[in-house]
Structure 1
Amino acid sequence: MSTSPNSEEFYKKLKGQLEEANNWPAEYLYKFIVKSNLDKIAKIDAIFDNMGAVITTHESKNGKYTSVSVSLLMRNPDAVIEKYKEVAEKVEGVISL
């Protein structure tokens, strides 16, 4: 994929897909991968704190990486994208899926 996940073009395309796929507000599932580091996982937890999110983590087989899944009710595509940007800004090395 030639589009950088941090580019405005990427987010514009994502917004269009979200608008087509859901009736808002809707339950949304975020998936992130970080190097297994409690500080990075805690930062993701803090970003979604007090929002009613269900957060689960799963460590890779060798323990080097951790996947973080965040499920919560979001009001619209713009709110979904705001959180993606916030995570990318605050958590170094995060991969958003």
Structure 2
Amino acid sequence: MDKKTEEFYIRLKEELSNTSTWPSEYLYKFIVPTDKKKIEEVENAFDNIGAVIKTHQSKAGKYTSVSINVTMDSPGDVIEKYIEVSTIEGIISL
């Protein structure tokens, strides 16, 4: 992880700590190339933790947005999931 990304996660953790009480619901939003395997990788990262997952394909069908609403225990857990899915090729975290 580069320094800029690391600093982003540190700021995000501070903001989440200051603006929410934990455990708390958190909404993740990602964009991935429309590829069944990549979409499944994102979904599998949130499997068995009570996540509500919604997908929507772009008009041209090239990309799929994945929205995941899930209760997380702490800001650290939120960031761990971002780091986990960041290894998926072509994923964009919003």
Q: TM-score range by the shorter chain?
A: over 0.9
Alignment size in residue pairs: 92
Q: CA RMSD in A?
A: 1.1
Give the alignment of 1:1-97 within 5 angstroms: 4=4, 7-89=5-87, 91-97=88-94
Cα deviation, residue 20, structure 1: 1.4
Aligned partners of 1:57 and 1:21: how far apart in 2?
Answer: 27
Q: Structure 1: which 5+ residue stretches go unaligned? A: none
Cα deviation, residue 21, structure 1: 1.4
Runs of 4+ in 1 over 2 A off after TM superposition: none
Aligned partners of 2:13 and 2:53: how far apart in 1?
Answer: 23
Cα deviation, residue 95, structure 1: 0.2
Aligned partners of 1:87 and 1:68: how far apart in 2?
Answer: 12
TM-score, normalization by structure 2: 0.94
Aligned partners of 2:68 and 2:81: how far apart in 1?
Answer: 11
Aligned partners of 1:35 and 1:72: how far apart in 2?
Answer: 23
Q: Structure 2: which 5+ residue stretches go unaligned? A: none
Q: Percent identity?
A: 55
